[in-house]
Structure 1
Amino acid sequence: MHPLMVHFPIGLLCVAIVLELIDWKRKSEGLREAIKLLTRIGAISAVLAVIFGLLLASQEESSGTSLKIHQWAGIATMTLSVLAALSLSFNNRKAFRSILFITVCGVSFTGHYGAMLTHGDDYLSSVLPFSEPAKTKGAEEPQFALISNTGALSPQQIQQLNVEVRTILAHNCYSCHSETKTKGELRLDSKDAIMKGGEDGLVVVPNHPDKSEIIRRITLQQGDKEAMPTKGKRLTEKEIRILKFWIEKGAVWPDGKEKSIYRVAALEPRTPAIPAASGDIVLLVDRFVNAYFQKNKIGWKPVVDDRTYMRRVYLDIIGLLPAPEKVDAFIADTRPDKREVLARELLNRNDDYAQHWMSFWNDALRNDYSGTGYITGGRFDITKWLYTSLEENKPYNWFVKELISPTKESAGFIKGIKWRGTINSSQRTEMQAAQNVSQVLLGLNLKCASCHDSFISDWKLADSYAFANIFADTLLEINRCDKPTGKIAATKILFPELGEISVNKSTEKRLRQLADLLVQPKDGRLYRTAVNRIWAQLLGRGIVEPVDMMDNIPWSEDLLDWLASDFVTNGYDMKKLIYTIVTSRAYQLPSSTIKEPGDMMSENYKFTGMVRRRLTAEQFTDAISSAFNPMYADSAVVFKLLPEKFKTKLPFARAGFVKNDPFLTSLGRPNRETVSTSRTSQANLLQALELTNGSKFTETLRRGAKEWKVKYPNADSLVTELYKRALGRNPIPKEMDVARKILGPKPSEEGIQDLVWALAMGPEFQLIY
């Protein structure tokens, strides 16, 4: 009915405007009556078109920007057509012509977006003589690596192939052939359903893609009434080849449950056997790394020098540069355990430690000092609680308990953000709590499964809502893609092996029960996730990557499991975990570089030492403040609610406590409206523009240059002091010569600014080696 009601008024209104143009000079009474009749019928048809269109959208469960534009353009066109009919009734010919012209334009605009919905975004370009046939699009995409395999597939290859196949089916076929909508009695969302076929018979014949109906349908020419998918773009050549290859291999599917398609890491903890010591490889972390090196034929490199280690461990533990006199003393120290002593000293600087690690946890727990929700009371900060927890080195199990079963000061994490206006069902506060707890604490992604069954894991929509119910005051109705299903979700934990949640208890008691279940020592996933995050923070890449996908294969499963086991054994002590890592020989290896950002996530990644990384926004800012001039000198910019006894003892405000601004944003500090568990280490254009033209950095250099000019009127003494503060060393002769040329015979403010800028832009300052 919708196409019928749409196409009818299109023709009538277009004819009406043509007749009106003809009648412009002829003034024919007969034409005017015809125009009046056509306009009225067109207006009535436009109203019916909108009504049937809205009904169609609700039945099809459609969504998206194009649909919204089509809907509102249709409503606007309907309104204009009614106004045109009314203006004609009141004999206002001038207004009628203007409105009718706009109405016909609206019909064309609305029809364009309607055609995009029905025939795809390329419905116009695809039929032009010079257009590339849709079937060949994507033919130049890189081919799936397994397609060239002519032999039997290993279990890992079968798993990889099935992930590819299931992803193709999910993105192209589930909208019509799944549990929620089953056309032709055909479902493609499980092994049994695929092999069963539909009302027309089998769609997959193992080992015979040429006899499989699914292959015939997806390879038909565009426009054929039997071609699949019927909506949207056709499958690419790569996707078709993968499906053919899958069927050639017998439409293989992993044995056992459907969940085995995706790797699921073990929940329970494991304490692996500790490899034997070998020569000077005696620390337990290094023994596991040594076993990994032997397996992968990687040799140990000499550890970094004292200056490099000191700068590295200072920045990693307290986020500050070491003072020049501290560097000199450390280098002169002859004690064999001086690195262990240094690590303990830094970890005992509780205030500095907490001020640095606040930024890491603020990102992860989406805690900030300003932004969405704070003005309207729809969001609460946890700054006092978080800072105190870090300063006191609260055991991690209690840290987690107080986040899930919160005190008043720690409740902001699971309360989430109460967004203003209408929101998607997946962003209600209970769903935010389920998503954030699962991501931060358990290293799994429920965001996809908060709208529909996940395409990238086996988590279902019902799982997300059941977990969200633990945080809810009333039972939640499941919404699929923001459409109510009429089903009320159950209430249960994601991993039933940990225990059951009492449904009849109050929300407060359910949260206490959930906290107790999650922090049990038998929840190996909780503690593996934590130690993996800390390893990634200190060495630039997790043992598992990405750190939010803990079902991925670690580069050393034994090392990960042992670190988690040792973490629990040592009383969930975060500082002991950091000490264990930074005193290991593995941490002290020379840093390595990653050529491409994608290499960090590669399955072929090989650990050889710390990944060289750029200073974070806060580290860079504090480095400038300590080495040259405070960037945030006014203590008023520090977050006011911080307890007085924990205020910074430095002559400048630590960047971790400053409200976000364009400078910090450009250097990578997130807005923290959502969980952020990693920051990119790649330089970008925004950062380059801010550091070259930004007012904040320029003003800091200008203020500092005035003071340095007075304090160090001699160029050589100025350069030497600046190098010591910024890089922890004296300038070499070549560097001194260049600096003298920049400063001139008598240092000027402009010359000092240029020299500091050049130092700050250099890799030795910006990177952690």
Structure 2
Amino acid sequence: MLLQANDTFWLWQFLGRLHPLLVHFPIGLLCVALILEIIDWRGKSNKLRAGIQILIWIGAGSAVFAVIFGWLLASQGDYGGDSLEIHRWAGITTMVLSVIAAFSFQKHYLKVYRSFLFLTVFGVTFAGHYGAMLTHGDDYISSVLPSAQKLEAATTEVDFIANNTGELNDQQIQDLNVEVRTILAHNCYNCHGEAKSKGDLRLNTKEGIMKGGESGSIIVKGHPDQSEIIRRVSLPKTDKEAMPTKGKRLTEREIKVLQYWIEKGAVWPDKEKSIYRVAALEPRMPQVPAPTGNLKKPIDLIVNTYFVKNKASWKPVVDDRTYIRRVYLDIIGLLPPPEKVESFVSDPRPDKRELLAKELLDRNDDYAQHWMSFWNDALRNDYSGTGYITGGRFDITKWLYKSLQVNKPYNWFVKELISPSQESSGFIKGIKWRGTINSSQRTEMQAAQNVSQVLLGLNLKCASCHDSFISDWKLEDSYAFANIFADTLLEINRCDKPTGKIAGTKMLFPELGEISIDQSTEKRLRQLADFLVQPKDGRLYRTLVNRVWAQLMGRGIVEPVDMMDNIPWSEDLLDWLASDFVANGYDMKKLIYTIVTSNTYQLPSSSVKEAGDIMANEYKFSGMVRRRLTAEQFTDAISVAFNPVYADSAVVTKLLPDGMQKKLPFARAGFVKNDPFLTSLGRPNRETVSTSRTSQANLLQALELTNGNKFTETLKTGSKQWRAKYPTSELLVTALYKKSLGRAPLPKEIAVAKRILGSSPSDEGIQDLMWAIALVPEFQLIY
């Protein structure tokens, strides 16, 4: 934690430090402009127009300079962490909004201008809040609230630190040491860790912290008041010697923990317990509770135990219309036909939901066409993009489609990805980037990172450059695993600098087996595939069932889904699903069937107030999380409901097996090349692995759905077809609602639709009605 001189050119440092000054211009001027706009909201005069115009343009201009100077300030390395990134992008978004508001004002688009002015002021407020957090700490505002003060007091009171004045036992020493190293890891390792040791000070080892740095010792055992580390972390944020310099400051409690630790002799056990949770590798089949009431299926019985423990109760399952739409979209990605909905609703059979799930899973081509998008994201397979033109990338589309179509057992699916044929080799071959690249992006390192992330739910990306800050994985581990995929052994590069060391070959989990360095790459890959798919590799199968659960339920049992060492909300449910999956022959469709026929899946959907709540440690499961249709689902829904010629079928002809494209009523969106419309709806760039998509609406999506040319033209073409088929308004409205929403319109909806259409429907009126239906939550969400 010793301060060093910054090597950045002085002028950039000077301009960067003008950022706080400049950022107050848009805050002040734009807020004043909004106040004047509100005052003159219904005014007909132009008395305030000139003044508002000046404020808007100066505010927008200063927002641009604030972003530029803020970027310079951030590059000096004085700040870091998630708060910086949120502040950075919130500031950029605010700048864009302010410029749009200014131009809208200039063009006299009054409604557009006022809307963007409101958004700009909100953006300034939001960005400013995170700026204050960077300067004063994450709890700058919340720390003064009574609730925060009570929580701090309560936390301190129950901690054994406050209650123990005598000698510590071995367990207490271990717990205290883990807590101290957690504080140091989260706040100090960026500057004083394995990869970077400012002031020759390392805080990630016993030897390093006891030795101190260039300025000498930082710890005086038994005397926190004489210890330099305590002095530095206790200084005000504005003091040039205050530590840490990046992101938030240590909390009062964290400082007390460090003081207590030093007071007790700064004990650092030789046999260290990891500060990070490591999930068990081996499988476990938990005991399923006995049936109770109408609950008989294992998923429901395990969830019932969870509900009892958390004092939650079961809600009635969703109605038939909700279920059929949900299960259609989840299994084959399409809206159910109106006649199928009515038939299902009137079907009296008690097992009709199980029969429907089987029927949909037996539609092999529809199933494969839908789940292609899920696996394309995870296996970073796409139809265009970086690498294809230069031959530095290979697609696996036909292999993947056929594997899904025939429901290839997952263990063979994995084996063919890791020990591949020519058709399936694109996944581990990665992207051969043009020009000079970072050592951590060599194709062998990409293979190690992608296999570990997708199949094992662990992050090797940090450990591909230096020892990880978020896990116990070391740089040597990443290189040893990458060498399994390499034709020649790789020299270890730390932060892109050669170390002169050569790693051998090693499994990430040696318990699964050892791979000899003295054999061909092909044999090593075959051996790796055999080791990974063993039934005793519980992690492989937990990762898969967790991904499928997240896809169907809106949230994984473990979140994020790529961090399988995190605590699941139900360990028994995760372990049972994985063990049952193996016992049922690694059958993906049986896994999906087991989930979608459970009462748990059929519970009413729930929502979260904030996007971040879904990842919160205190998350409580209550049912499926309501989610937005994916880009492909939404596009296919438009095709089904309004216009069945949305996509370019010529693309599909090249991708699907011979003759398959002839069976398609329209080109499924999962098989078309990415375009601005799909991007706006959340389809990712597949140059890297993507295992989750945000379900939150955003500004880009709103703009594309209101002004996008492709969407507009699609509805325009569809309106002509509907007008030719339904010459009267009432018939058209009824048919349109059944086709798009799976139900007849309500009387008030018919009345509104008739006002839009008139007595004789026009192309423009039908187009407006389609657009209105496509934007309602009932169409866009899976309930």
TM-score by length of 2: 0.78
Partner of 1:150: 157
2:404 is matched with 390
Shift of 1:529: 0.1
- Give distance in 2, aligned partners of 1:366 and 1:115: 31
Q: Tell me the residue number matched to 2:550.
A: 536
**Correspondence for 2:290:** 276
Gaps of 5+ in 2: 14-70, 85-130, 161-171
3-state SS, counterpart of residue 500 of structure 2: strand
State the distance in 2 between where 1:570 and 1:171 align: 46
Aligned twin of 2:108: none
Cα RMSD (Å)? 3.4
Partner of 2:578: 564
- SS of the aligned residue for 2:190 comes to helix
The answer to whether the aligner puts 1:194 opposite 2:209 as a matched pair is yes
SS of match in other structure, 1:593: coil
Matched, 1:628 2:613: no
How much does 1:215 deviate?
A: 1.7
User: For 1:214, which of 208, 217, 229 is the aligned residue?
Assistant: 229
Match of 2:45 in 1: none
Q: 1:564 to 1:114 in 2, by over 3 A?
A: closer
In 1: Cα distance, 2:504 partner to 2:6 partner: 27
Contact 1:206–1:248, Cα closer than 8 Å, also in 2: no
Q: Does 1:308 align with 2:322?
A: yes
The counterpart of 2:675, out of the listed 622, 637, 661, is 661
Correspondence for 1:705 among 681, 697, 719: 719
Residues 739 and 414 from structure 1, CA distance in 2 versus in 1: closer, same or farther, beyond 3 angstroms? same
CA contact (8 A) 1:218 1:235 kept: no
Cα 1:746/1:254, change in 2 over 3 Å = farther
1:738 and 2:757 are equivalent in the alignment:
no
Partners in 2 of 1:384 and 1:582 — Cα distance? 28
Is structure 2 residue 219 aligned with structure 1 residue 204?
yes
Distance in 2, Cα, partners of 1:576 & 1:116: 51
Match of 1:345 in 2: 359
Aligned to 1:20: none
Equivalence for 1:242: 254
**Could you tell me whether the CA contact under 8 Å between 2:190 and 2:196 is conserved in 1?**
no
Written as runs of structure 1 = structure 2, the 5 A alignment for 1:388-537 is 388-537=402-551
Alignment correspondent of 1:127: none
What is the count of residue pairs matched by the alignment? 655
Check conservation: 1:719, 1:739, Cα contact below 8 A. Answer: yes
- Secondary structure of the residue aligned to 1:260 is coil
SS in structure 1 of the partner of residue 301 of structure 2: helix
Residue 722, structure 1, aligned to residue 736, structure 2: yes
Q: CA deviation at 1:276?
A: 1.2
Who is 1:331 aligned against? 345
**1:212 Cα deviation from its structure 2 partner:** 2.1
Once the 2 structures are TM-superposed, how far is the Cα of residue 203 of structure 1 from its aligned partner? 2.6
CA contact (8 A) 2:178 2:273 kept: no
Q: Which amino acid aligns with 2:652?
A: V
- 1:378 aligned to which of 386, 392, 399: 392
1:688 to 702, 706, 709: 702
Using the TM superposition, name which of 535-544 and 133-142 deviates more: 133-142
Most deviating of 377-386 and 186-195: 186-195
1:207 deviates by: 7.0
Contact 1:312 1:768 in 2 (8 A): yes
Cα separation, 2, equivalents of 1:740 and 1:703: 21
CA contact (8 A) 2:206 2:268 kept: no
Q: Would the alpha carbon gap of residues 279 and 138 (structure 1) be closer, same or farther in structure 2, given more than 3 Å must change? A: closer
Deviation at residue 651 of structure 1 after TM alignment:
1.9
Measured after TM superposition, the shift of residue 116 of structure 1 is 8.1
* Offset at residue 491 of structure 1 (A): 1.1
The 8 Å contact of residues 67 and 113 in structure 1, kept in 2 or not, is answered as no
Question: Partner amino acid for 1:140?
Answer: Y
Per-residue deviation, 1:156: 8.4
- Quickly say closer, same or farther: Cα 1:517–1:259, change in 2 above 3 A: farther
The CA distance in 2 between the partners of 1:133 and 1:668, in whole Å, is: 29
What displacement does 1:733 show? 0.6
CA 1:192–1:290: 2 relative to 1, 3 Å: farther
Q: Alpha-carbon deviations, 1:429-448, whole Å to 9, x = none?
A: 00100000000000001111
Q: Distance in 1 between matches of 2:78 and 2:388?
A: 44
Q: Which digits, 9 at most, give the CA deviation of each residue in 1:386-405, with x for residues without a partner? A: 00000000000000000000
Code of the residue aligned with 1:445 in structure 2: it is N
Whether contact under 8 Å (1:404, 1:514) holds in the other structure is yes
Q: Secondary structure at the match of 1:400?
A: helix
Residue 157 of structure 1, CA deviation = 9.3
CA distance in 2, matches of 1:748, 1:626: 21
CA displacement, residues 305-363 of structure 1 (integer Å, 9 cap, x when unaligned): 00100000000000001111101111111111000000000000000000000000000
Rounded to whole Å, the distance in 2 between the matches of 1:476 and 1:435 is 15
Q: Deviation at 1:649?
A: 2.1
1:222–1:546 distance in 2 versus 1, CA, 3 Å: closer
Report the identity percentage.
69
Q: Is the 8 A contact 1:633 1:652 kept in 2?
A: yes
Q: Output the CA distance in 2 between the equivalents of 1:393 and 1:375.
A: 32
CA deviations over 1:622-655 (Å, ceiling 9, x no partner): 0110111025354213261321143262321000
Letter in 2 for 1:365: L
Query: Do the aligned residues in 2 keep the contact of 1:393 with 1:574 (CA within 8 Å)?
Result: yes
Specify whether residues 674 and 156 from structure 1 end up closer, same or farther in structure 2 by C-alpha distance, changes over 3 A only.
farther
Contact 1:264 1:551 in 2 (8 A): yes
CA contact (8 A) 2:463 2:478 kept: yes
1:140 aligns with 2:140: yes
Cα distance, 1:746–1:487 mapped onto 2, change above 3 Å: same
Correspondences of 1:524-673 after superposition (within 5 Å): 524-638=538-652, 640-647=654-661, 649-673=663-687
Q: Alignment partner for residue 300 of structure 2, among 259, 283, 286?
A: 286
Alignment-mate amino acid for residue 572 of structure 1:
Y
Residues 158 and 701 (structure 1 numbering): CA distance in 2 closer, same or farther, change over 3 Å? farther
- Is the 1:205–1:211 Cα contact (8 Å) retained in structure 2? yes
**Do the aligned partners of 1:159 and 1:262 also contact (CA within 8 Å) in 2?**
no
C-alpha separation between the residues in 1 aligned to 2:175 and 2:619? 17
Tell me, yes or no, if the aligned pair for 2:439 and 2:493 is still in contact at 8 Å: yes
Residues 137 and 337 from structure 1, CA distance in 2 versus in 1: closer, same or farther, beyond 3 angstroms?
closer
Deviation sequence 1:474-533 (CA, Å, 0-9, x none):
110111111111111121010011110111111110000100010000000000000000
2:655/2:671 contact within 8 Å kept: no
Change (3 A) 1:251 1:482: farther
Q: Deviations over 1:152-206 (max 9, x none)?
A: 35998985664343121212323xxx4775855x531124543455687653356
**Alpha-carbon spacing, 1:207–1:312, altered in 2? closer, same or farther (3 Å):** farther
Asked whether the 8 Å contact 1:367–1:383 carries over to 2, the reply is yes
For the 8 Å contact 2:236–2:242, the answer to whether it is kept is no
Match of 1:78?
A: none
Letter in 2 for 1:242: E
For the pair 1:297 / 2:304, whether they are aligned, the reply is no
Q: CA, structure 1 residues 365+244, in 2 after alignment: closer, same or farther (shift >3 Å)?
A: same
Q: 1:720 offset after TM fit, Å? A: 0.5
Task: Name 1:19's counterpart in structure 2.
Answer: none
Offset of 1:294 from its aligned partner? 0.4
Pair 1:443–1:135, CA change in 2 (3 A): closer
Counterparts of 1:139 and 1:195 in 2: how far apart (Å)?
31
